[in-house]
Amino acid sequence: EPAELMGLSPVDLAVEEDRPIVRSLLDTFRTGGEASGVRYRVRRKDGTVIWVELSGRPIDEIGGCVVSMRDVDQRQRTEEALAEANRQLELLAATDELTRLANRRTFNRRLEEAFAETSGSADFSLLLLDVDHFKAFNDRYGHPAGDRCLAMVSDTLAACVRKDDEIGARYGGEELALILPGIGPAEA
């Protein structure tokens, strides 16, 4: 209730981890600065934690300020859910469903990036693997067994990826690739 908020500082309402944010904002207001739309979390009377947005500005030369706080919990949670959905969508768009390796589009982009980064001045290795006699295997044991075979080969390839800039990819049907920036032929 409004009467219960009288005399409390925004710092008193903030969750412990976010109190430095609020203290910094109040210092900004006291020294003549303004802020708008800064988000942090507060704890309600019932103990639930919600997101709020704080804006404020100084109102006099002795450190007084006016502060406006509004509940943006639903918007914050919607934005977080949307960001997570976008991360998942990007992962799906960049990954081959069967092998869980990078897909051809991601391979092409990362290969161009690796070439641009090395620009002839550093080692760079590209390994291409073609699973021998895969069509005969598929014909004899069926596509589900062929899928399991490709998944096992892909898992082995993925285990060879050691650094963030390395990438294993499905190049085509039974063709796989490994991009190794900064790796010379002997190490590759």
Does residue 101 have a pLDDT over 80? yes
> Stretch 104-117: mean pLDDT, rounded?
90
* Per-residue pLDDT at 120: 65
Looking at the DSSP bridge assignments, the partners of residue 158 are: none
Write the DSSP symbol of residue 96: -
* Contact yes or no for 188/124 (Cβ under 8 A): no
* Contact yes or no for 53/38 (Cβ under 8 A): yes
* Contact yes or no for 156/168 (Cβ under 8 A): no
* Per-residue pLDDT at 181: 87
Per-residue pLDDT band at 81 (split at 50, 70, 90): very high
Q: Map tokens 């075979």 to a residue.
A: 149
> Stretch 57-70: mean pLDDT, rounded?
82
SS3 25: helix
Catalytic residue set: 174
